[in-house]
Amino acid sequence: MQSQEQEYLSAAAQLVEQQALDNPGIGIPVDPDLADFMGAFESSENLGEVVTANLGGQKDDH
């Protein structure tokens, strides 16, 4: 059985999805917890590798 928070997030995600389908092209602001639940912050990348790649392989000497 899902927790009450999981049920709330699931219902809210369905509403956001429906809004997006009804009004394509508009931004729909959502709570960060809901965005995380919807997968907005998932990444298979290693954060250290991303930082190193963006610095061009240079390390900060500070």
List per-residue pLDDT tens for the chain, 62 residues long.
Answer: 579 999 999 999 999 999 999 999 999 999 999 998 998 886 777 767 777 887 875 555 55
Helix residue ranges per DSSP H, 1-62: 4-22, 32-37, 47-54
**What is the pLDDT, as a whole number, of residue 57?**
56
Per-residue confidence (pLDDT) for residue 20, from 0 to 100? 94
What does residue 46 show for φ and ψ, rounded to 5 degrees?
A: -80, 125
C-alpha to C-alpha distance for 17 and 21, rounded to whole angstroms = 6
Give the Cα separation of 45 and 10 in Å (integer). 26
Task: Answer whether 0.75 is exceeded by the pTM.
Answer: no
Per-domain boundaries in the chain: 4-52
